[in-house]
Amino acid sequence: MLSPEKTREVQSWGRYPKVKHARVTPIYWRSEIPDLASSEQPVLPHAYGRSYGDSCLNENGVALDVSHLNRFISFDEQTGLLCCEAGVSLADILEVMVPRGWFLPVTPGTKFVSVGGAIANDIHGKNHHAAGTFGCHVTRLRLLRSDGQRPICSPDENPELFQATIGGLGLTGLILWAEFRLKRIVNPYIDADHIRFTSLDEFFEISAESDKNFEYTVSWVDLLVGGEALCRGIFTRGNHNQSPELARKRLPKRLPLAVPFNLPQFVLNTLTVKGFNELYYHKQLPRRVHRIESYDPFFYPLDSIHDWYRMYGKRGFLQYQFVVPFEGGREAMREIIGRIRQSGAGSFLTVLKEFGTIKSPGMLSFPRPGLTLALDFAYAGEKTLRLLDELDAIVRQYNGSVYPAKDARMSAESFQQFYPRWREFARYIDPHFSSSFWRRVSTTQ
């Protein structure tokens, strides 16, 4: 088939905001990187553009396309330590390593992110309560700074630069390669439970008993249901299957769907979201279903729908993910869910999870112990922006935080309150690196 138009336009996943870059510079070899200091405009690394908002964008600046720095460097079968260039995608790693009995220590909801992006956003996954963030598993990385220095950063070498780079949104320099530990698996299958719940309180109950015994937990929720229950949903929990026989079983091929063009605006609105929620909530007849699933649909349900952002049409969409501490968590959720219902905005894919207590080394790391909810909203102009500002206010009130990897609009005041270490972090930013996100959130009165 004809390949899709290869424009040199660099975009984020939500297609909002749409910005123009001065130029896109592809980098093919670690040994052939242009002098970053000689660029008039600031630079920012960009790989697969899976961040939703503007943390991966650099308006009027230079986008360093590092997706071609995608080579493996070494792998140690004894320790599980994998070293690879930062443009390697998690999908590449899974393709090569799963058949050999190794899995990612932490994985987000899509496998099409780069290792550099995984570090820069300090991504988390369904196993945060058991394993922490991706940054917790990085042993070393090499950074390229615009002054030509290529420091190796680890908990022991250049530790502050290491801590700044984890969750550092690509601003401390270009990550050339990273080393991190994979974990051993017996086979590519997951023992999964899917349990329907009818209220937030029921979610808490199931969570309490599940987080102890299950490595992976996450819930899809419907916030439009109304009433004291606050939400209903399906709780998913899973562990790696341990049967050696299944190691030899062939993985079923997933037929990829693709959204071929932007859908018109009326397709995804509150009514259709309500309709979808109703269907999805009832998709399993019994309240509790147990299945052995292959890892791909368990971890990456959306990856099989290519370009799913097109369902939101040309206007794009905004993702919003926040965390609120357990203390006051229920009240925070009640206020937030109430505000969302009031606005009439429907979120198509709403995900709820409890974060655990494992601390990340990253200065700007998002996860902290508490409840996290991820929502998406079709971009409907001022209305949507105002709603999110109001949600920010509630999150601030409850001492929570909002995730930069998904953000396209949080104010500088909010960001600086959510991330008290931001000034300390700013000391490690490379003078020639910048992003649209950073320029927005680092302004002070």
Partner 1 sequence: MRILILGASSLLAHEAAKHFAKDGAELVLVARSPQKLAAVQGDLCVRGAKAIEAIEADLADVTRHQELIEAALKPFSGLDAVLVAYGTLGDQQRSERDVQVALQEFNNNCTSVISLLTLLANYFEQQGRGCIAIISSVAGERGRQSNYIYGAAKGALTIFSQGLRNRLAKKGVAVVTIKPGMVDTPMTAHMRKGRLFADPKVVGRGIYRAIVKRKDVVYLPAYWRYIMWIIKSIPESRFKNMNIGG
Which tokens go with 126? 């369904």
31 vs 445 by CB, closer to partner 1: 31
Which tokens go with 303? 């990856």
CA-closest candidate to residue 363, choices 208, 171, 177: 171
Site string for partner 1, 76-95 (x = CB under 8 A): ------x-x-----------
Give the bridge partners for 43, in sequence order. Answer: 62, 433
Among 19, 22, 73, 311, binds partner 1 (CB under 8 A): 73
Among 4, 34, 338, 344, binds partner 1 (CB under 8 A): 4
74 vs 411 by CB, closer to partner 1: 74
Which tokens go with 90? 């998690």
4 vs 155 by CB, closer to partner 1: 4
Could you tell me the smallest distance in angstroms from the CB atom of residue 244 to partner 1?
21
7 vs 213 by CB, closer to partner 1: 7
Q: Which long-range contacts (CB under 8 A, 24 or more apart) does 25-28 make?
A: 25/62, 25/63, 25/64, 25/65, 26/65, 26/67, 26/68, 27/64, 27/65, 27/66, 27/68, 27/69, 28/68, 28/69
Give the bridge partners for 382, in sequence order. Answer: none
Three-class DSSP category at 62: strand
Among 26, 148, 159, 260, binds partner 1 (CB under 8 A): 26
Type of residue at 136: C
Interacting span for partner 1 (CB under 8 A) from 27-35, 226-234, 268-276, 433-441: 27-35
235 contacts 352 by C-beta, under 8 angstroms: no
- Residue 289, judged by CB atoms within 10 A of its CB (0-12, 13-18, 19+), counts as middle
Assess 30 for contact with partner 1 (CB under 8 A): yes
Of residues 264 through 283, those in contact with partner 1 by CB under 8 A are none
Among 81, 91, 96, 259, binds partner 1 (CB under 8 A): 96
68 vs 287 by CB, closer to partner 1: 68
How far apart CA 165 and CA 364 sit, in angstroms, is 9
DSSP state letter for 326: S
Number of residues interacting with partner 1: please give it, by CB under 8 A: 22
24 contacts 65 by C-beta, under 8 angstroms: yes
Could you tell me the smallest distance in angstroms from the CB atom of residue 51 to partner 1?
23
73 vs 289 by CB, closer to partner 1: 73
81 contacts 139 by C-beta, under 8 angstroms: yes
Largest CA distance in the chain: 63
Assess 184 for contact with partner 1 (CB under 8 A): no
71 vs 184 by CB, closer to partner 1: 71
71 vs 383 by CB, closer to partner 1: 71
Interacting span for partner 1 (CB under 8 A) from 22-30, 230-238, 294-302, 397-405: 22-30
Of residues 33 through 72, those in contact with partner 1 by CB under 8 A are 68, 71-72
Among 9, 29, 159, 252, binds partner 1 (CB under 8 A): 29
Quickly list DSSP for 100-133: GTEE-SS--S-S--BHHHHHHTT---TTHHHH--
Assess 7 for contact with partner 1 (CB under 8 A): yes
The kind and range of the H/E element at 424 are helix 422-426
Among 17, 19, 22, 28, binds partner 1 (CB under 8 A): 28
Could you tell me the smallest distance in angstroms from the CB atom of residue 3 to partner 1?
5
12 contacts 56 by C-beta, under 8 angstroms: yes
102 vs 437 by CB, closer to partner 1: 102
Assess 308 for contact with partner 1 (CB under 8 A): no
How far apart CA 293 and CA 179 sit, in angstroms, is 29
Site string for partner 1, 114-153 (x = CB under 8 A): ----------------------------------------
How far apart CA 47 and CA 339 sit, in angstroms, is 35
27 vs 318 by CB, closer to partner 1: 27
Assess 8 for contact with partner 1 (CB under 8 A): yes
DSSP state letter for 309: G
Assess 397 for contact with partner 1 (CB under 8 A): no
Assess 3 for contact with partner 1 (CB under 8 A): yes
Among 16, 52, 75, 214, binds partner 1 (CB under 8 A): 75
73 vs 246 by CB, closer to partner 1: 73
| CA dist list (Å): 146 to 141, 340, 342 | 16, 44, 48
Question: Could you list the residues that contact partner 1 (CB under 8 A)?
Answer: 1-8, 26, 28-31, 68, 71-75, 82, 84, 96
